Structure 1
Amino acid sequence: MPVDNVNSNPTSGIILSTIKSSFSSPTCWLLDSGATNHICFSKQSFHDLTTIKNSFVTLPNGSRIPIEGIGSVYLFPKLILTNVFYIPTFTFSLISLSELLYAHSLRIIFFDNSFIIQDKLFSLIIGKGESHNGLYILHTDSMQFNTVSFKFHCNSVSLDIWHHRLGHLSHDSFVTLNNKYNLISSRVPHFPCRVCPLEK
């Protein structure tokens, strides 16, 4: 789907007739490996939105659909999509994989019937979705449950294990990291490490 009068490369052509109505939800996003721009049909999904004129998406059949705006969409706390096209005449929303990976330090791991989105630095799972008839679908309304599950799993890991996993990180640095990612639920005490004194 080429884009006219917008600083962008052509986006891929998903045939509109193949997209089922079950995907026409503001919380449902389709991952597109060929698209170069994110597209959202729901105005309520935007955190901020700027109106634009005289810009279009050209469909595979040659018809042109106007782009009515561009803005940011908060999918969930740790993932914000920017430069998202607002196209209300679409009946589904697209996530451009190339744009997603270019703009964020993420990895996406695909399985037979699902996928996960991870933060590269700490391997935090910040989203996951499912495969349906060859389409990979992200449901943003399921992210709250996934986040709680992940934090519960992390709370079972001891401070000593985190210290070793993070390359014998100093106490102050670990406190800073724990305040941001809640690796352990309790206060971070000072504790002896037999390896750290040997490295000084």
Structure 2
Amino acid sequence: MTLFCPDFGIFWFTQQDVESGAWLLNSGATNHMTFTTTDFTQTSLPRRSNIVNTNCVTSLVTRAGTVKLSPSLQLHNTLLMPSLLYKLLSVSQITIDLNFTVLFYSNFCLIQDILTKEIIGRGTKRGGLYHMEDFSIGRAHFTHLFTSNKEQQILLWRC
């Protein structure tokens, strides 16, 4: 299935490609988005009342707020959209608002703090999408998490 929408970009996937509750890294999303109220540490009224979702239907935004994924990663201005099927991390919000960089490789990705060089998150590419799996990785703890020698060499080079 191929979908295109201005707020999300182009997707090639089926619903079976995405685990329920997984955060997906998305370079086309304008905002971080979730469908789960329990993800939030605080909420307020949203600045936007609706957004065009992945099936090009306008969906209601009910709240906005902060989601804490780890001590190093808090997502401000995250939108609560009960009709959304997937949780989306906006690459532009991560890089601009948090001063992090996102590194994409052929089968995994990393979120890194630009100032401290600490690895903040790690994801694996499955079904054409980057599934964020770990937000608690520090620079000293992540090498053993990768399966291939090539991935370990790339990570070592980045340090």
Q: Structure 1 length as normaliser, TM-score?
A: 0.60
The answer on 1:39 being equivalent to 2:30 is: no
The answer on 1:20 being equivalent to 2:6 is: no
What is the CA distance between 1:83 and its match in structure 2? 0.6
SS in 1 for 2:96: helix
Distance 2:107 2:55 in 1: 31
Larger radius of gyration: 1
Q: What's the counterpart of residue 73 of structure 1? A: 67
Q: What's the counterpart of residue 127 of structure 2? A: 133
What is the CA distance between 1:23 and its match in structure 2? 2.4
Residues 31-63 of structure 1, C-alpha deviations (whole Å, 9 max, x = no match): 111111111111000010114498111246553
Q: What's the counterpart of residue 179 of structure 1? A: none
Structure 2: gaps (5+ residues): 143-159
Larger proportion of helix: 1
User: Partner amino acid for 1:18?
Assistant: T
SS in 1 for 2:115: coil
Larger proportion of strand: 2
Structure 1's 66 and 77: CA in aligned 2 closer, same or farther, altered over 3 A? same
Identity of aligned residues (%): 30
Q: How does 1:28-107 map to 2 (within 5 A)?
A: 28-52=22-46, 55-59=49-53, 62-107=56-101
Q: 1:53, 1:67 within 8 Å by CA — same for their partners in 2?
A: no
Structure 1: gaps (5+ residues): 3-9, 152-200
Q: Structure 2 length as normaliser, TM-score?
A: 0.74
What is the CA distance between 1:136 and its match in structure 2? 0.8
Residues 95-150 of structure 1, C-alpha deviations (whole Å, 9 max, x = no match): 111111010121121111111111111211111110012111112xx334x34953
Count of equivalent residues: 141
RMSD between aligned residues: 3.0
Structure 1's 15 and 109: CA in aligned 2 closer, same or farther, altered over 3 A? closer
Higher normalized contact order (CA 8 Å, seq sep 6+, divided by chain length):
2
Residues 139-195 of structure 1, C-alpha deviations (whole Å, 9 max, x = no match): 2xx334x349539xxxxxxxxxxxxxxxxxxxxxxxxxxxxxxxxxxxxxxxxxxxx
Q: What's the counterpart of residue 135 of structure 2? A: 143
User: Partner amino acid for 2:99?
Assistant: S
Q: 2:63, 2:80 within 8 Å by CA — same for their partners in 1?
A: yes
